[in-house]
Amino acid sequence: MRARRVGAEYPGAMAEDLDELGERAVTAARALARARRAAKDAFLTGAAALLEERREEVLAANAQDVAAAETAGADATALDRLRLTPARVAQMAEGLRAVAAQADPVGEVVAGWVLPNGLRVSQVRVPLGVVGVVYENRPNVTADAAALAVKAGNAVVLRGSSAAARSNGQIVELLRLAAAKAGLPEDAVLAVPPGDHETVRAFLQLPVLDCLVPRGGRQLLAAVRQYATVPTIIDGEGNCHVYVDRAADLAMAEAIVVNAKTQRPSVCNAAETLLVHAEVAETFLPRVAAALQGVELVGDERVRRILPGVGPASEEDFAQEFLGPKLAVGVVDDLEQAMAHIARYSTGHSEAIVTEDLRAAERFLAEVDAAAVLVNASTRFVDGGELGLGAEIGISTQKLHVRGPMGLRALTSVKYQIRGEGQVRS
Ligand SMILES: NC(=O)C1=CN([C@@H]2O[C@H](COP(=O)(O)OP(=O)(O)OC[C@H]3O[C@@H](n4cnc5c(N)ncnc54)[C@H](OP(=O)(O)O)[C@@H]3O)[C@@H](O)[C@H]2O)C=CC1
Ligand SMILES: N[C@@H](CCC(=O)OP(=O)(O)O)C(=O)O
């Protein structure tokens, strides 16, 4: 059965239907698995240069996406995620170059040993093959995902948000041009045209996908759980907490909370809930409230006794990822209660404690079940670029086969290479 028809006119679609798109990706993946590091790096640095040279075209396409989103009534969060600026395009180019600077994971020997019968066994890193990505309305993801997938020797099939259709189309065109210039198959980067969710559902079942990375909110993840038949690595929402312990340096805590909440509130690693130990609540809450200018605070009863102007926080507020200038605040009696609250509401993304108490810090690191746990640092650091991975294809909120920011190695598997001299099993 042929899969759903796709719009071949969309940049990078180049096919009548998803099956044909998949076949093109498989052909490209075979060539990419053999590609040398020099060619892959030439693709990345070439794409960075093209992005800079043709920045105005990318920004013009993005301006059209932003205007359409405004007309459609998109909120400030959605617009912030969608909008490109010269600085954000420069960051995308920087990300491409950072991935080029990373070691090539393909061929890395992970482990090796010799058996008593003389067989030499090694476990070697290999590309996954064809990687699909369904992602939110941030156009930078187009470049980041393609960069990592191709450097790890994979072909990538991208399905960006419909809201970013023009921006992504422009970026995909540049990436394909850079691939051709570097002597790699153009089809290293392919795109599923946006526009409808039915095509996404068919994409979730495209047999040639070795791995699909869905990045998005609850609706997308529900669709993945219902329809996906290909292996997926879910990069889900971030209801991230900062817990200010009784042994916290309060100046440090203030700076971390403000950064985690306000540096870019629209992204998944921004803080959504602040928990404060009862012993420091009287001192810390007024201080942090004053520093969080422009952020709407909602709090539990104990918070509201200290900050009477703050509105009540509902159960739903503590469970919610606001992705905007709103923060739920609670007072807890101890570390135990803070961790219990986090266990109840966390989406398993990024959780932070601020404390000078080593035992509390170590317990938090060991016991909180999330993709990333931090001590005395902002949740905003949970990002591939910030953690030295060059970029990220997403932040896995599941446990298999990777967890947390996913860089090059996350887009590989391993295979056993076994060298013998005629051994047979008795
Ligand atoms: N952990 C991580 O790395 C990441 C987490 N996120 C999380 O994603 C959320 C923000 O993303 P948001 O803007 O809501 O993006 P959405 O979840 O709305 O959309 C993401 C992608 O999924 C598609 N999609 C949405 N709903 C469905 C559906 N029912 N069936 C098929 N496809 C669907 C969209 O297509 P279309 O545009 O056509 O609707 C888009 O391409 C936040 O919760 C954030 O924390 C986001 C990115 C990375
Ligand atoms: N990589 C990001 C965080 C993760 C992300 O992709 O954000 P989002 O699009 O909200 O899920 C950053 O800190 O820039």
| 253 part of a folded domain | yes
Match 């409230």 to its residue by tokens: 289
- By mean pLDDT, which of 10-24, 178-192, 242-256, 344-358 is the weakest? 10-24
| 8 part of a folded domain | no
Owning domain of residue 25: 18-235+406-418
For residue 215, pLDDT over 90 is answered with yes
87 shares a domain with 129: yes
Cis omega before residue 401 (within 30°)?
Answer: yes
- Tens digit of each residue's pLDDT (9 = 90 or more) over 122-177: 999 999 999 999 999 999 999 999 999 999 999 999 999 999 999 999 999 999 99
| 231 part of a folded domain | yes
Say yes or no: CB of residue 235 within 6 Å of ligand 1: yes
25 shares a domain with 113: yes
For residue 1, pLDDT over 50 is answered with no
- Do residues 12 and 167 lie in contact, with contact meaning Cβ atoms separated by under 8 Å? no
Average pLDDT over residues 171-190: 98
Query: Which residue from 131, 167, 154 is spatially nearest to 43, judged by alpha carbons?
Result: 154
| 280 part of a folded domain | yes
CA of 219 to the centre of ligand 1 (A): 7
Query: Which residue from 148, 300, 293 is spatially nearest to 235, judged by alpha carbons?
Result: 148
Structure tokens at 301: 């009863």
- Do residues 189 and 146 lie in contact, with contact meaning Cβ atoms separated by under 8 Å? yes
Say yes or no: CB of residue 134 within 6 Å of ligand 1: yes
How many structural domains compose the chain?
Answer: 2
105 shares a domain with 163: yes
For residue 7, pLDDT over 80 is answered with no
- Tens digit of each residue's pLDDT (9 = 90 or more) over 43-80: 999 999 999 999 999 999 999 999 999 999 999 999 99
| 311 part of a folded domain | yes
DSSP label at residue 266: T
Distance CA 105, CA 102 (A): 9
Tell me what pLDDT residue 137 has.
97
Average pLDDT over residues 178-192: 98
208 shares a domain with 75: yes
Give the CATH number, domain containing residue 349. 3.40.309.10
Say yes or no: CB of residue 161 within 6 Å of ligand 1: yes
Distance CA 95, CA 148 (A): 10
Residues in the chain: 426
Distance CA 340, CA 351 (A): 13
* Single pTM value for the model: 0.93
- Do residues 51 and 174 lie in contact, with contact meaning Cβ atoms separated by under 8 Å? yes
320 shares a domain with 205: no
- Tens digit of each residue's pLDDT (9 = 90 or more) over 353-394: 999 999 999 999 999 999 999 999 999 999 999 999 999 999
| 170 part of a folded domain | yes
414 shares a domain with 317: no
Tell me what pLDDT residue 50 has.
98
Query: Which residue from 258, 237, 298, 251 is spatially nearest to 378, judged by alpha carbons?
Result: 258
411 shares a domain with 317: no
Pair type for strands 412-419 and 120-127: antiparallel
User: Which residue out of 220, 224, 383 has the highest number of ligand 1 atoms within 8 Å of its CB and is therefore the one to mutate?
Assistant: 220
Residue 136 CA: nearest ligand 2 atom is 9
Percentage of residues in the chain with pLDDT exceeding 70?
Answer: 99
Tell me what pLDDT residue 9 has.
80
Residue nearest to atom 14 of ligand 2 (CA): 383
Averaged pLDDT of the chain: 96
For residue 197, pLDDT over 80 is answered with yes
Tell me what pLDDT residue 6 has.
72
CA of 215 to the centre of ligand 2 (A): 10
281 shares a domain with 267: yes
> Cα torsion for 394, 395, 397, 402, to the nearest 10°?
90
User: Which residue out of 269, 379, 382, 393 has the highest number of ligand 2 atoms within 8 Å of its CB and is therefore the one to mutate?
Assistant: 269
Ligand 2 site residues (CB inside 6 A) read 136, 138, 267-269, 380, 383, 392, 395
Task: Measure the N-to-C terminal CA separation of the chain; round to a whole number of Å.
Answer: 45
- Tens digit of each residue's pLDDT (9 = 90 or more) over 103-123: 999 999 999 999 999 999 999
pLDDT tier at 3 (50, 70, 90 boundaries)? low
| 62 part of a folded domain | yes
DSSP label at residue 332: E
- Find all residues with CB under 8 Å of 207, minimum gap 6, and list them: 22, 229, 230
Give the CATH number, domain containing residue 103. 3.40.605.10
288 shares a domain with 149: no
